Amino acid sequence: MCLYLCLSCHSIGTLAFSFHSRRMRQDMFFLLLTLLVTPSENLALWGKATQSDLVDNPYNGWSHASNAIDGNSDSDFYHGSCTHTDSQTNPWWRVDLLDTYIVTSVTITNRGDCCHTNINGAEVHHKNVKFFKLKYYCDSGVISSIPAGRSLTLSWNKGIEGRYVAVVLPKTSTLVLCEVEVYGYLAPTGKDK
C-alpha cells in the first residue's frame, strides 16, 4: 500500500513536472514568436519634438512640431496632424528620443494635399547633441522625393547611434511633415558595450 502510494505520488509529481516543463517551453516558444513577429516600437511616439519655426496665422494652431509624432499619418494638412514652418532658409524639425538609441530606420510621411515636392532634398540626421550645424553630419540620408501623401523609409543595417533625429531642408522653403517614425533599439551602455 505504502509502495503503491509512493509510486502514485512519484507519478503525480513526474506528471506535474512534465506539465510544468511543457508549459514553460510553450511560454518560451510564444515569447520568442512574439519577439520575432512584433514590429519594432516607434520610438518617436515617446519623444519630444521641436522645429525651427511655426507657420504664421491662420495655420499655426494646426502646425506644431508634435503633429509629426502623434501616431497619425493623415497627410491632409487641414486635418491637423502635420507640422508646418514658414518659408525660410534651412527649415528643420527634430525629435528628442529622450535616450540614446541605435536607430535602424526612419519613416517619413509627406503632405498629400499640396506642395509635395517641397520635401525634395531633405536630409535626415542623427546625433547625440541637441544643437547641430547643417552639413556637419556624415551619417545623413537624403530624401530625393516622396509622392504626395506617401511614406518613405530610410534604413541603416547596422544602425546609427543618436538621441536626436532631425529632418533638415537645405534650401529656402516650408518644411511640412505629416508623420516621422523612428525605429531601433536602446544603445548599449558603457558597461555592456
Q: How far is the CB of 51 from Ca ion (least distance, A)?
A: 13
Please list, residue by residue across 119-146, b when 16 or more beta carbons sit within 10 angstroms of its beta carbon and e when fewer do: beebbbbbbeeeebeeeebeebbebeeb
Q: How far is the CB of 80 from Ca ion (least distance, A)?
A: 9
Q: Are 108 and 179 in contact (CB under 8 A)?
A: yes
Q: How far is the CB of 57 from Ca ion (least distance, A)?
A: 21
Q: How far is the CB of 149 from Ca ion (least distance, A)?
A: 12
Q: Which is nearer to Ca ion, 63 or 140 (CB)?
A: 63
Q: Which is nearer to Ca ion, 72 or 100 (CB)?
A: 72
Q: Which is nearer to Ca ion, 75 or 160 (CB)?
A: 75
Q: How many C-alpha atoms does 90 have within 13 Å on its Cβ side?
A: 6
Q: Which is nearer to Ca ion, 80 or 159 (CB)?
A: 80
Q: Which residue is nearest to Ca ion (CB)?
A: 81
Q: How far is the CB of 72 from Ca ion (least distance, A)?
A: 4
Q: Which is nearer to Ca ion, 66 or 90 (CB)?
A: 66
Angle (CA) 113 44 123, round 5°? 60
Give the span between the Cα atoms of 11 and 65, in whole angstroms.
65
List of residues contacting Ca ion (CB under 5 A): 67, 70, 72, 81, 179
Give the span between the Cα atoms of 125 and 166, in whole angstroms.
5
- Please give the C-alpha separations between residue 132 and each of 66, 125, 145, in angstroms, as whole numbers: 20, 9, 24
Q: Is 142 left (phi over 0), alpha (psi -120 to 50) or beta?
A: beta
**CB proximity list for 13: less than 8 A, separation 6 or greater:** none
Q: How far is the CB of 74 from Ca ion (least distance, A)?
A: 6
Q: Which is nearer to Ca ion, 55 or 160 (CB)?
A: 55
